[in-house]
Amino acid sequence: MRFFSRRPSVRVFFATDIHGSETCWRKFLNAGGHYEADVLVLGGDMTGKALVPIVEEGGRWRATLLENRYEFEGEDEVGEFEEAVRRRGYYPFRTTPEELAELEADERKREELFHEKMLGRIERWMRMADERLDGSVRCLVCPGNDDQFEVDEIVRAARRVELAEGRVVEFGDGYQMISTGWSNRTPWDTYREEDEEVLEERLRRMTEELGSPPEKTVYNLHCPPYGSGLDEAPEITPDMRPKDAGRSTVPVGSKAVRRIIEEGQPALSLHGHIHEARGSTRIGRTLCINPGSSYEQGQLLGAVVDLDGGKKVKRFVLTSG
């Protein structure tokens, strides 16, 4: 599928924030062939956010999803519901009223079950990638601030997927990319977040390892640069509710990320983190992209970017499918 008239030096497909969506992961694996990409990059937040119990009682099943209650009579109906839950990025599990009561009363058990389901899905995704990718396209993955650290080890063990976190990756004709899923502080106290000063030190350690010129350098930084328009998120109140029904937005990106981009002027800077802030902008010569996320709808938002070694990236398109 050709978007531009002439073939680039390297074509990159970038997506991010799929949050456990089985449908989005499958689409991501297929994106190399569909978009004729040389490199697939997943920018962070691979794992889902919630368990969904499916309770069996008296030969019938019941479940609640997004405050809607469902009832099922047979295996086929339960299986269809489980598939729908996986498409949205959540973790279904079958249980009884007694077992569910035990889980609700024991936070440690709930965390252990969530951990088991979350890591099990990542393991299955890596097996899927090993089966479907043939080595003709590079697949680079970087967990995000919402992802537990055990995810890194599972990705590192895959044959066809490469862990990009914290290192310089070379591809194409002399291109280099640095990646991190760490962000500045959030209200949710996630796994990979830190103060701006510490984040800036992390970023500088990586940029100091780069050897390619700016026109052949890519930053894959989960957190978008502050005040770029790619970091506009709904403002929240002290009790963690959206202000003005979500109509009031504020920039929440990283000032450290912005400084690093302004100084290094890479050809391309890829971001995510803020699902609503889909778009592109330039900071100096650097093209910055946040493709956004619609993982709950099973829609993979992404960006196809052609790199040709010029001082500015001229050919790119935001995608959805």
**pLDDT tens, residue by residue, 86-128:** 999 999 999 999 999 999 999 999 999 999 999 999 999 999 9
> Exposed, middle or buried, 118 (CB in 10 Å: 0-12/13-18/19+)?
buried
| Dihedral, 19, 305, 28, 205 alpha carbons, nearest 10 | -50
pLDDT (0 to 100) of residue 59:
86
251: helix, strand or coil = strand
What's the pLDDT tens digit per position in 210-227? 999 999 999 999 999 999
Q: Which residues of the chain have pLDDT under 70?
A: 1-8
Query: What CA–CA distance (Å, rounded) separates 171 from 173?
Result: 7
